[in-house]
Every structure is written in C-alpha cells, then in structure tokens.
Amino acid sequence: MSTATSSTFTPKSMPSALTFDLHAKCSTTKARASTLHLPHGSVPLPIFMPVATQASLKGLTYDQLKETGCMLCLNNTYHLGLKPGQEVLDLVGGAHKLQGWDRNILTDSGGFQMVSLLKLATVTEEGVRFLSPHDGTPMLLTPEHSISLQNSIGSDIIMQLDDVIVTTSPDRARMQEAMERSVRWLDRCIDAHRYPERQNLFCIIQGGLDLELRRKCCEEMVARDTPGIAIGGLSGGEAKAEYCKVVDTCTGLLPDNKPRYVMGVGYPEDLVVSVALGADMFDCVWPTRTARFGAAITPNGVLNLRNTTYANDFSPIQEGCKCPCCRPKSEGGLGITKAWCHHLAAKETVGAHLITMHNVQYQLSLMASIRQAIIEDRYPGFIRKFFDDYYGTRFKAPEWAVDALRGVNVDLFAE
C-alpha cells in the first residue's frame, strides 16, 4: 500500500465520546447484543437508523419519531452543507437545535452524494471536485471540509470522507486506489476533527467485492483506533451472496469492543442475515421511500396497499403493531385500517404519512426483537420463524440467505 502498514503506523491518540457495552453473543452465529452510549442518550444495538436526509424524516414529525423509540437517526452532510449551509448551522448551534431533536444524530461524509448524484464529479487525492447543483460553480469537498461541516452539524457520530466506487466495477486497480486513498483520507479526517470529545469519528472500510482488499483495509483502519467502524461501498447492485461474503469477512477482522455499521442496508431479510454475520448498525431510506408508494412492511412481507385487494379490508396494517396507525383507538392509537390506507395512498399525502409511521415502527420493533432473541440465546430459532412468516415458509427463502446463514452455523431448513 502507498500508506504506512499497520505494523509501522502509530495511531494518533483520539478521545472517544462513546461507551460500548457488549452484553451478549449468540452461541451459534456471530450476532451481538450491546448498548452504545452517546452524548444524546443510549442506543440499544443491533439498531436500524431511519434517514432524515435534510434534517427531516419524510412523513413524520420528530415527536412522532420519538414515539417509535428511535434514539439515533441520520442526517445528510451534503444536503445540510448546501442548505441551510455551514454559516446557519454555526449560528443556530448545530443540527440538533435546528430540527428540535434531542436524541442522537449520525451524519455521512457527503462523498457518496458527490459521486452518485453529480454526473461531473471527479475524485483526486485532494478531494471530490464537482459543480454546484445550484449555480454551476466549481466546488471541492476535501476530508478537512467534510469534517468541518460535520463539526458544525454537531452530530454524535460523524463519518470519514471515503473514496466510493460502485461494487460492480471491474477495475481492480481503481478499487485498490480507492481503498488506499480512503485510508489516507481517514488520517486527514482525524487531524481535522476539532471535537473528538463530543463527536465520534467512524472509519469506513472499502475494497469493493475483493476480499483481499477488504482484509488489507480492515488492518489499516483498525490500526487507526476510531471509536466505531463502518463497512461501506455495499448495496450498490452487487449480488447478495457477494455482499454477505464481504460483511462476514470484515466482521471477522474487527475488534469486539467497537460498534460495526453496515451502510445502506434496510430490507428486513438483509437485517436479519447481517446481524447473524456480526453487524450492529444499519440505515436505509427504503422503509420511508416505499411508504410513499403505498407499501407497508409487515412480518408477513410487504403489502402494496394501493392494490384493490385492500379496498374492503378493515383490519389494521399489522395486528398487534404498536404504531399509532395500527393501534386501536381504545389503546390511544388512530385505529387506521388497510381500506383507509388504500383510499388515501393513491390520493392523499396523509396516506404516505400513516404508512411511514408504521414502517419505521416495524423496522425498530424488528431490531428490538432481534436483540432480545440474541440476549436469550435463541437467535437461530428467531431466524427460522422470521423466514417462515416473511416468505410464507422458510423453504422459499432466497438462496443467498440460506447459504450465508449456513456459513454461521444456521441450517434454515432444520426443525
């Protein structure tokens, strides 16, 4: 590598603003139950983090998000840097005050949006060059500027700027360059970070689908001793079997005493399998985005509530769900039915609002159930029941899930 190897690298001493308590490990899989103590409250892990891209979760107020029990959500550095901008963030005292959210925030670095949203973005050793989407002005996002923006946002967890390459790229030389550059950029992020005593910097492991590159990156990143570690560059169109190999490889090389965050993952079956592979934290826009198309996530699969099948279905989206949408009025809920959601989903924005409320609650409840199953050391049985319910029978589970679970000692078809 063109950066120092971990055998000679001396990490910069960095204060940590988190405490990580590991409570239980599954005796069969690599699943873990833990608690992440952050400046704005304790977060039970494993956890799914809803994405509030522009300091707003589409379809929910922050009081409604609090009601789900959410302790950690995402904001987007790229979008907040453009609007309201760093000056306003500094004036108001950060994103917590801007949006009225007194729980934890994680921000990404902004680099992924640079490369994925902007057609003319170019990456050099200096940073990411792009044209402003507002007026076409040439701009540059460096590791230092990304950290400066996140320092102004005041998020509890901040992410390094990394060089992101789509996982399906056949260019191994470019993939290796991106991995090595991400290590060098982490060093610059560490040097630029002004508030390590109150904001936790996470490194991001890169290397595409090349397991050897991933191993090298793990070695380098672990040597930097950041408070937490992310596995990045996935959910970019790669086969699920390849995704699982990367996650399994990386978690096997990471220390037990730090949280492990797999970026951009949110499908329920992906969460269940990824936890078994040893990951702790996940985020994705899918649960809220799919709600805006009338799709509700349930233990029995995803329901398309725009389908006329539900026009005369007067049951809740999910029996027993504790979200305000599903909860009956006798229990302080709204008592909304599938028929009402069907009527609203095609015509009114309130339909998206109600389904979003349910989907976020489903995701967080799923993770709470996973955590309890790990603590009680019954996660393999939980996995089998999940696939029985979600697919109608576990025997219809996708091959990638069957194989990945077999790799962590779970035979999905066993009784």
Distance CA 387, CA 409 (A): 16
CA 407 to chain centre: 23
Q: Catalytic pick from 21, 108, 163, 411? A: 108
What 3-state class would DSSP assign to 55? coil
Annotation-wise, does 321 bind a ligand?
A: yes
Please report, for residues 78, 80, 266, 281, 387, the alpha-carbon distance to residue 360 in angstroms, rounded to integers and kept in the order given. Answer: 24, 23, 11, 15, 20
What 3-state class would DSSP assign to 72? strand
Q: Respond yes or no: is residue 388 known to be catalytic.
A: no
Annotation-wise, does 326 bind a ligand?
A: yes
Annotation-wise, does 73 bind a ligand?
A: no
Q: Catalytic pick from 102, 135, 283, 313? A: 283
Annotation-wise, does 113 bind a ligand?
A: no
- What token pair was written down for 271? 């969460």
Helix axes 349-375, 268-276, angle to 10 degrees: 20
Annotation-wise, does 203 bind a ligand?
A: no
**What is the residue type of 222?**
V
Annotation-wise, does 111 bind a ligand?
A: yes
Q: Respond yes or no: is residue 283 known to be catalytic.
A: yes
Annotation-wise, does 323 bind a ligand?
A: yes
- Beta-strand runs (E) in 179-334: 200-205, 228-231, 260-262, 281-283, 295-298, 301-304
Annotation-wise, does 63 bind a ligand?
A: no
Distance CA 260, CA 57 (A): 24
Q: Which residues of 290-323 are buried (b: 16+ CB within 10 A; e: fewer)?
A: bbbebbbbbbeeebebbeeebeebeebbbeebeb
The phi, psi pair for 153, rounded to 5°, reads -65, -35
Known binding-site residue numbers for substrate: 108-112, 162, 206, 233
Supply the residues annotated as catalytic.
108, 283
Known binding-site residue numbers for Zn(2+): 321, 323, 326, 358
Known binding-site residue numbers: 108-112, 162, 206, 233, 321, 323, 326, 358
